[in-house]
Structure 1
Amino acid sequence: MTTPLPGFEGLDGPADGAPRARRQLAPGAVHVPDWLDVRAQRELVAACRDWARGPAPIRHTKLPRGGVMSVQTVCIGWHWQPYAYTRTADDVNGARVAAFPDWMVELGRRAVTEAYGDAAAGDGYTPDTALINFYDEAARLGMHQDKEERSGAPVVSLSIGDACVFRFGNTENRGRPYTDVELRSGDLFVFGGPSRFAYHGVPKVYPGTCDPACGLRGGRLNITMRVTGLG
């Protein structure tokens, strides 16, 4: 049974300890709770720790107007910097980023297949990059679109560690209508189709909600796989 977290009253999800069910928030946008078991979470955390050390290490991304993102980010496959993809981390140390592994491709395909409940949904899905974001208790991510990709293939998002409020909005603007959803360790969220370019963000992280069995002592790790379409 899932116990309710303090502060989650009023969010989209059960507040009575009932098991959380797979749910479609909008066409193409699906939340699958508890998709990763604890062993899979630990393995992903270990892989992310390796990538965070380099060749292009984790960093707080600097924005063109001088701001600095509160989340820390490391990339694999392709390097993202505002607002483009490159093979080398030119805003960090110039190194070529780590390759996108085959096992991550398979994980992405399984995620799309299970989210959409269609055995064929993941057949052509071949993610070639992942942005790995680490949130401490003060980190936030404003409403934004993932639109640097030249592909409309779904985004696969995996959460490990502290729970957060995930705000999933509309495709027109950063404001309402949007839905606030609790994402907990092991949760999967996939958005594609009509929802592929929906605005989304993380307005709050809940410190102290991380189970150390996942491989983290605290903080939230978010892995988002994408298809760049860059070849």
Structure 2
Amino acid sequence: MNIPTVSAPSVAIHDSDARFPVRRIFCVGQNYAEHAREMGGDPERQQPFFFSKPADAVVPSGATIPFPGRTEDLHHEVELVIALAGGGADVAVDAAERLIFGCAVGVDLTRRDLQAVAKKAGRPWDMAKGFDRSAPIGAILPGAVPERAAAITLDVNGDRRQSGVLADMIWAPAEIIAILSTYVRLAPGDLIFTGTPAGVGRLERGDAVAAAVAGLPALTFDLA
């Protein structure tokens, strides 16, 4: 029997022929107050909660994504994504930024109808969040996290759907890294989606999506 050859997922690095190898993808839920409210949550500064996507869920900017199966309610969630060059467990907040390789714009695609069913039944969200091609991501810009005044936006077919600033985050990137490292040992190659502002909504076949964080390479994709 032949042992299968499997290629590792990777993400483009801005202005480089090199690529960033993806080890794991972590996501933070309800990290913007207005989004927490629109999802029926409490925006107070409670401990953040995390979920995961498979590494091969990444999709490059400019791609055409087949509309996923098993859903009639696919939603967009634009997010700042942190790419780690270092890791560790129980990382201190003041040391967390030194682990960052760079940042990118990402979209957490969500099968909202499956998520609602899972929530009601008290079951995991895996199939609502971690499906194939559920993590479109732009090129990673090496360096520090954009300033907190940076705008974060998402347009569908030229219409603005989501708009906010990174300062609206309940938990800042360094805090997210530190808290996540108390649950798992972080490592180079990890990506962290840091939450989405209000305005999440439905996507349809044929939609053109453009997502941006000021100062980072833009992300675009189409749904087939």
TM-score calculated relative to the size of structure 2 = 0.30
Structure with the bigger RCO (C-alpha within 8 Å, sep 6+) is 2
TM-score calculated relative to the size of structure 1 = 0.30
